[in-house]
A and B are shown apart, each in its own frame.
Chain A
Amino acid sequence: MKSFAALTPFKRTALAAASMTLAVGALSLPAVAAIVPQGVALAAKQELVRNNGSEVETLDPALVESVGAANLGRDLFEGLTVTNGDGAVTPGVAEKWEQKDPTTWIFHLRKNARWSNGQNVTASDFVYGCQRFIDPKLASPYGNVFGPFLLNGADIVAGKKPASALGVHAIDALTLEVRTAGPVPFLPELMSNPNLGPVHRATVEKYGRDWTKPGNLVSNGPFQLKDWQVNSKLVLAKNPNYWDKEHVQLTQVTYLPVEDENTDVKLFQSGDNDMTYQMPTGTYAKYRQQFPNDTRNSLILGTRYYSFNNRDPLLKDVRVRKALSMVIDRDLLAQRVTADGQTPMYGLMPKGVSGADVSNYEWASWPMDKRVAEAKKLLEQAGVKPGTKLRFAMNTSDYNKKMAIFAASEWKTKLGLATDIESMEFKVLLKKRHDGDYQIARNGWVADYNDATTFLQLVQCKSTQNDNFNCNPKADALIAQASETTDQAKRKQLLTEAAKLVMDDYPLLPLLQYGLPRLVKSYVGGYSLKNPMDHYGSKDLYIVKH
């Protein structure tokens, strides 16, 4: 889970009037688990082995940070809502919900939701889970990410108010009120996040840090913890107390923590693994040919980009940043260099994101000759002479190296600029980026929730996530305006405009939208290719007779 920083602080003043006029809406969607198409025969043995990319940092939903831990979090715990295999929000523990006013939501919990120990899941479990997550004493890395969405969340994370002041209250055992700091139209999706899910208080209090260990962990999701051997495997078994167990086909899911992509593929080839986490660099075409029925690739809400240090003496001139961006042939990069099903990007927003339209640079459709001529003119105006050296920082990986060499070659052949590529450990790169100790740096971002604001964090003036150190107050004002409006069309228009405005400053260099190619055995059913968040809950999957 690559993530994002806090939103622009909400202003409560504008909300009162809006809340008076907002009609109370009721939302109720059908629950969807593994729907097996008619005519599909299921295998007798419903057991899946899937690689999770690395050992998870925790099973405590409040502390979950990585993609792998979030995958397990969604299998073990169920929030108020759930995102299904197509990325749509469906009911979870809450069977329905309604928005009373722009900042108040009421979630009605289903009566038959149970913990794995058979006890009822109540609204108090959500209050406890959310308060625990946001309490700075727990130091959850995501506290300051989701906290500001909720009423008093920002102050609680900052230690200015107690966790009990959080805008999440139990009206009764089966009714939960969630009050937000401003209009959060995507709140139902946000509440599907394991961080904001329920926690079984008695278990935490009884076992302390050991509450997540096998034998201790009490969870409410479609699966329960059976075994956990660190760095070896983590085994989940179907939760017999799960309210929707009839629609859960898998009886056992084994998560592997294999980091080496080549080992991952070999385990797949030998039949010891049904789903790889990724594919090794440069092997997509080969494996697509070798395993045509097993290769699955879908675009996700993520962007590969290069950060420009906007404070750098050379790059502080927008003309230089623009010239560097213009001459990169993204089509060539996607088709010939990475060659693994990724899509060129010419703006901040990836395809499929909610809350804003994709807007591309005007020159994206120009022929390359024209782009190069314009870029040269810009450099000349900025006084940058051919032979000028650029410094590029990246974390060591074959994939990053291929892309960096391509970019350096584009700048050299088209603009006459030389590039020193410095490869380093990931932690070192992170430190350099955060400290602004770089000129151009590899970067990437994958959304945590499907809304434009997750990408706007990268370029907002005071965002802790802005490693480019750019600032466009006008764009920030538009985002602030959008955060206060209850009119969704208006909000979308404002955020689209803000993204376009700030990207005209060329704070960063967008390159590709993430595609996620992986090998999935053809007998694994329920694997959707329209999953923008890459959330493949095991309850949506099943094993076809083979």
Chain B
Amino acid sequence: MWSYTLRRVLLTLPTLLIVVTVCYLLLHATPGGPFDGERKVSAEVLANLQAKYHLGEPLWKQYLLYLDGLLHGDLGASFRYADWSVNELVLRALPVSLAIGGVSMALAIVIGVLLGVAAALRRNSIADYALMLVSNAGNAFPSFVIGPVLILVFAIALKWLPAGGWDDFDPRYMALPVALLVMINVATVGRVTRASLIEVMNTPYIRTARAKGLAMHTIVLRHALKPTLIPVVSVIGPLAIQSITAAVVTESVFSLPGIGKLIVNGAANRDYTLVLGLVVLVTVVAVLLNLLVDLAYAWLDPKIRY
């Protein structure tokens, strides 16, 4: 297990290098540079700006300089936000995204599994259809529709919650974006749980348990739930990564200071270092999440050993 984990962590490095290299080249190939503004800066100012950010150097040299900084944990200076380094920007945005993403994922898993189990146990009943209809609605409607509807109802009409913004992890500001992400993710978790539990419930060892006269809740909780969760765990990794990409919309709708907003601003402003820093971060998170998912398999399924 430990050697497997170490191997996977080490494999992160070439993955990161490939992602950074491709992203670096794509960013520099995109038309328009960081200093292309409404007004053209003078040649002298441009030369000084380029010198400051090493943009006058050949591309390979810039790339190596960036990698050198990266190895030293320095993501560089932001092209757009003159008063902040990329490290500072990322460190300020990350807790916001982690809080929103983490809480919403945890809630989506709990609610999704409960809904899925309830629907599977009452298969094809009205309750099953109703549960699946509600949870699927969250998946069917895009977040830029659900988000404003939540704001209209809970912030403008009822005035229970703020329409957007952020205030030091105040739950009132987190409630609506978390609710939106839960609605989006709960459908997937619920659907997968339902299908998986239905399949597990038809397996011979569950039939045996029933024949022995065990109570339904004992069968589900003690025997069926663990194998049911294997496919659920498989979708959690992609869902978590999807939450990061969905943050681009969520953070815009709720005006949250997370990494989604930074990615959009960074790309629009050709803030090369900021975008690369965020790409590195998202890649590391994605790789780690996948590793955690793989390790969770071993815990859930005794047949899997690393």
Contact = CB atoms under 8 A, between A and B. Distances in A.
A3 B48 contact: no
Interface stretch (A54-62, A162-170, A171-179): A54-62
Given A427-B31, A431-B32, A229 B44 contact: no
A267 B83 contact: no
Contact of A270 (B35, B44, B159): B159
Interface string B154-191: 01100100111110000000000000000000000000
Contacts of B93: 230-231
Contact of B45 (A157, A233, A425): A157
Contacts of B268: 425-427
B270 interface: yes
Interface in A1-31: 2-6
B31 A431 contact: yes
B43 to A, nearest CB: 8
A63 B82 CA distance: 8
Interface stretch (B7-15, B195-203, B236-244, B249-257): B249-257
A232 B253 CA distance: 13
B48 A464 contact: no
Q: Is the interface of B mostly helix, strand, loop or mixed?
A: loop
Nearest to A457: B39
A434 B41 CA distance: 11
Interface string A255-267: 0111110110011
B256 to A, nearest CB: 8
A272 B48 contact: no
A531 to B, nearest CB: 21
A468 interface: no
B261 A231 contact: yes
B155 A229 contact: no
A274 interface: no
Nearest to A140: B45
A60 B82 CA distance: 8
A269 interface: yes
B210 to A, nearest CB: 53
Nearest to A233: B165
A272 B165 CA distance: 9
A266 B254 CA distance: 10
A57 B82 contact: yes
A270 B151 contact: yes
Interface in A210-248: 210, 212-213, 229-233
B45 A136 contact: yes
Of A63, A144, A158, most buried by chain B (CB within 10 Å of CB) is A144
Contacts of A206: none
Count chain A CB atoms within 10 A of each CB in B44, B45, B48, B252 and give the residue with the most.
Answer: B45
B169 to A, nearest CB: 12
B148 interface: yes
Contact of B39 (A138, A141, A230, A271): A141
B218 interface: no
Interface in B42-91: 42, 44-45, 48-49, 52, 80-84, 89
Main secondary structure of the interface of A (DSSP, over half): loop
B16 to A, nearest CB: 25
A78 interface: no
A256 B165 CA distance: 8
Most chain B CB atoms below 10 A, which of A54, A270, A434: A270
Most buried by A among B40, B156, B252, B257: B40
B37 interface: yes
A430 interface: yes
Given A266-B148, A464-B40, A230 B164 contact: no
Contacts of A210: 83
Interface in A476-507: none
A465 interface: yes
Interface string A125-169: 000000000001111110111000000000001110000000000
Contact of A58 (B37, B83, B156, B262): B83
A224 B148 CA distance: 34
Nearest to A262: B148
A285 interface: no
A431 B45 contact: no
B165 A136 contact: no
A55 B81 contact: yes
B166 A229 contact: yes
Nearest to B261: A231
Contact of A230 (B38, B52, B92, B252): B92
A267 B261 CA distance: 17
A65 to B, nearest CB: 7
Contacts of B52: 139
A463 to B, nearest CB: 9
B265 interface: yes
B36 interface: yes
A213 B52 CA distance: 21
A136 B49 CA distance: 9
Interface in A182-229: 209-210, 212-213, 229
A54 B265 CA distance: 9
Nearest to A443: B38
Interface in B246-281: 252-258, 261-262, 265, 268-270
A2 B163 contact: no
A456 to B, nearest CB: 14
Given A144-B42, A428-B31, A263 B257 contact: no
A140 B152 CA distance: 43
B89 to A, nearest CB: 6
Nearest to B166: A232
B257 A272 contact: no
Contacts of A137: 48
Contacts of A229: 92, 166, 257
B40 A427 contact: no
Nearest to B43: A158
A266 B155 contact: yes
Interface in A408-426: 425-426
Contacts of B164: 258, 263, 266-267, 272
Nearest to B253: A263
Given A58-B83, A230-B92, A431-B32, A263 B254 contact: yes
Contacts of B270: 427
B252 A259 contact: yes
A55 B264 CA distance: 12
Nearest to A156: B44
B89 A272 contact: no
A143 B36 contact: no
B37 A65 contact: yes
B36 A430 contact: yes
Contacts of A270: 151, 155-156, 159, 162-163
| A-B residue pairs, 10 tightest by C-beta | A427-B32, A231-B257, A144-B42, A232-B257, A270-B163, A139-B48, A58-B82, A3-B39, A270-B155, A431-B32
6 contacts: A140-B45, A157-B42, A262-B148, A272-B163, A430-B36, A464-B39
Given A270-B151, A427-B269, A432-B31, 19 more contacts: A4-B39, A54-B265, A60-B82, A60-B83, A139-B41, A139-B52, A159-B44, A229-B92, A231-B265, A232-B256, A266-B151, A266-B152, A425-B32, A427-B30, A430-B36, A430-B37, A430-B38, A434-B36, A464-B42
Interface of A: 2-6, 54-55, 57-60, 63, 65, 136-141, 143-145, 157-159, 209-210, 212-213, 229-233, 256-260, 262-263, 266-267, 269-272, 425-428, 430-432, 434, 464-465
